[in-house]
Structures are given as structure tokens and as C-alpha cells.
Amino acid sequence: MKLLSKKALCNSHGQDSSYFIGWEEYEKNPYDEIRNPKGIIQMGLAENQLSFDLLESWLTQNPDAAAFKRNGDSIVRELALFQDYHGLPGFKDALVQFMSEIRGNKVSFDSNKLVLTAGATSATETLMFCLADPGDAFLLPTPYYPGFDRDLKWRTGAEIVPIQCTSSNGFRITESALEEAYKEAERWNFRVKGVLVTNRSNPLGTTLTKQELQLLLNFVSTKQIHLISDEIYSGTVFNSPKFVSVMEVLIENNYMYTQVWDRVHIVYSLSKDLGLPGFRVGAIYSNDDMVVSAATKMSSFGLISSQTQYLLSALLSDKKFTKNYVSENQKRLKKRHEMLVRGLRQIGIRCLESNAGLFCWVDMRHLLSSNTFYGEMELWKKIVYEVGLNISPGSSCHCTEPGWFRACFANMSEDTLNIAIQRLKTFVDSRDNKDDIQNQQQSNKKKSFSKWVFRLSFNERQRER
């Protein structure tokens, strides 16, 4: 043990979070319609499987791309040999055009300002290495994605200070919450280097408003710090209001020739919008040349394979396909979202009103045995082990209010989601029945006690006569 590094021995990865423990329990006993119908249904994985048939259809219709051919000739040798870490120009051009398309072509992106990384996890960590030193802090609005505790902190030594958001206003970011988080960081003697937001929020499923983005830009401008906008879910918005990129607000408010322009950075990925997490395609977009240069050098530690870049450059360059895919995928997400929300509502469970993403922020506060995080964990364990559903408790997302849970709906079939809802209904009904029985028993005890008191009083009066 003494021969290992401090990093190997430290326990700051976050793997002991209930978010990851739920995954581990699912992997021990995964649900399968035929082989294991009583297993745990995975509702803790934000994966988009609803439109994979569209991708498979494109691959079938474009065999040259899938076979790594150009004009009928194999280019396997070309792709198999060394490529530098700047990435294939054709893929970077196709990716920035797709990013513009996702944002309604209201903004355009320069491929020279794009850095390719092996997924959004790598992109976020790389930005931390570029912007913060060990002990520096980033402010994050709560609730936030549990993986950020790993992505931002574990290897970089950076710190996270929460911006406390509450259900009273739908967990929206306020100026007072931003200022309080900044003061809290100062109390801990952290140097604040920036704010990181996920737009569209994970786990809330809501998009940031223009007002919130303007508030954030004013804040980072005043404090002279960075803003990272994680926009990996930008193509999953299925209801109004529409997605607004921070880049759009920057341009509308004439930040192009100010220092703020260079201190705003975007993280993007194809994991959610195209449902390709296994392809490990992420990106950093920054207007700061020094950040781009440093991040490009760091990207050599996590490259995207040339084969992946070639295949996806062909797919993303097919504008007819990408336009149809984005539109159809949003329709399917909306239908599936409505299915889960309606099913939960019928059993007395409400969700935060949302307009995007692959999950719902579910309010189960009324099911807690006590309004505490102990009560939340008690309920979560019952849902995992007794009901057989892996959902993510709000405490793993650093929510300040016990009783909220994230439930994913896009990583399973419609039939499986129906089974999940039915399981939860059975659980809630059984709790209601127990409560009814307990209430009846208490009522009977009160009635018996009242009769006893009446008889005692009557006998006393008889003796007095």
C-alpha cells in the first residue's frame, strides 16, 4: 500500500455515492423481460435509446462509411495509421455545423476553436485543468449531476461550492444565491475561478432562461471569472421554451469584443443528442486561443479514434438525415416524457415541470417517513431493493430538500417503463393500505377507549346514587 500514490489511495472519486451504488445494485440483478423479470429496472442511466433505429437505418443505407471506404476504395490503412491530436478537419467541420443546427442556426461555430475529447467527461476535466489550480473553486447550481464530483475534482484538485437553488421557484438560479455561494467560497478561502452550469439541467430537465443566462454573464463579468456552459443535452428539448445557448446571449448582448467573450466556454457531446455514449465523442468550444491551445495538447490523453471521426463526419454531413433525426428524436422524447409524467400523476406522484432531457425530477416528499435525508435514503433503499427500480436520490445530486429523485425514461422500452410505473403503483398502494389499516386500528382504539371511559363514568354515577 505504501508504494502507491496518494491519488490511488484517496477516496474522493465519489464512487461511494448512492448514485453509483444504485448502478452497482442494478448490475448485480439486472431486469430482463424473459431471463430475469423480477430484476432491477435501470432508471438511473441518462441514455437515449429511443431513436437508435434511425442510426441503424442510416448505416444500412451508407455501407461505404460503415466499411471505412471513400468512393468505393478502402481507407482502413489511412485511418489505422497515426493521426495528430487536432482531429480530422472534416469531422470538426461537420460537428460545428451540427452544433449550429441544434441551436436553430442562430449562432455559428468556428472549427478552429473546437477541441475534440473522448466524451464530455474528458472535456469538463480538461477545462478544469486549463482554468483552475488545486484548491481553486467553481460554483455549481444545485441540484447537479453527481458525476461532477468526480469529473471536476478527483484528478484536478479543484473544489465545488454549491449555488443553493430551491423548489420554491422551480430551482431557478437567483442573484442572491450566486452571491451567497461566492461569499461561502471566500469563507473557505477558496479562490473562485468560475461558474459551471448544465443547460439543459441534469437532473431537472429544464432549460436556462435568457434572463438566467444574462444574470450569469453579468455575474462572471463583475467577478472577472469564467463561465462553463455544459450543453450536451441541447438537442433534447421537446417542449417550449426552446433551448437558448449561452453563445446566443453573448452575441445578442454585444459581448464579442469584451473580456467576457474569452471567459465563456462550452462543453458538447454526441452522447445524448445522438445517443452515442459508447463512441466517446466530446468537445470543448472556447474563444480563448490559449485555452484552445492548452486543451488541444491535453486532448492527447483522450483522443477520439480516427475511425469514429470518419464515420460520424459522413453521418453529420448528411443534412437531410440530421434534420430528420433531431426532429423525430424530440417527438419520441416528448411522448415518452408524457408517458412517465402521466403514469406517476395517476398514482399521486408529481414531477417538476420540464421541457427537455432524458429524465424527470420526481417529487416523492409525501412518501418520506420523515422530512430528512435519512428518510430519503430509507425510501430510496425500499425503491431499489423492494420495488426493483434504480432511481437517483436527490441527495446524490446535492439537492437541499429531501424527497426529490431523478428517474430516467429514455434508456428502456415502452413496455419496461410501463412495468416500472406499475411496480411503483403497487408500492404506493401497499403503503396507503398500511396507513389505512394503522388509521383504522388507531380509530378502533380510540372508540374502545371512549366506550371504556363511558362505562366507567356510568358505573361511577350508579354507585353515587
The one catalytic residue among 145, 182, 285, 325? 145
Query: Which pLDDT belongs to residue 448?
Result: 52
Q: Is 272 in the active site? A: yes
> What is the average pLDDT score of the chain?
90
Rounded distance, CA 419 to CA 122, Å? 35
1 pLDDT tier (thresholds 50, 70, 90): low
pTM, rounded to two decimals:
0.90
Burial class (CB in 10 A: 0-12, 13-18, 19+), 168: exposed
Burial class (CB in 10 A: 0-12, 13-18, 19+), 144: buried
Residue 4, SS3 per DSSP: coil
Rounded distance, CA 414 to CA 411, Å? 10
The one catalytic residue among 228, 272, 285, 391? 272
Query: Which pLDDT belongs to residue 401?
Result: 97
Query: Which pLDDT belongs to residue 77?
Result: 85
212 pLDDT tier (thresholds 50, 70, 90): very high
Q: Is 232 in the active site? A: yes
Q: Is 113 in the active site? A: no
What's the pLDDT tens digit per position in 218-256?
A: 999 999 999 999 999 999 999 988 999 999 999 999 998
DSSP E strand boundaries for 238-358: 264-269, 282-286, 350-351
* Amino acid residing at 274: L
Handedness of CA 108, 46, 15, 371 (dihedral sign): positive
Rounded distance, CA 411 to CA 453, Å? 60
Rounded distance, CA 82 to CA 59, Å? 26
127 close to 264: Cβ distance less than 8 angstroms: no
Residue 144, SS3 per DSSP: coil
What's the pLDDT tens digit per position in 173-182?
A: 999 999 999 9
Q: Is 230 in the active site? A: yes
Report percent pLDDT > 70 for the chain.
92
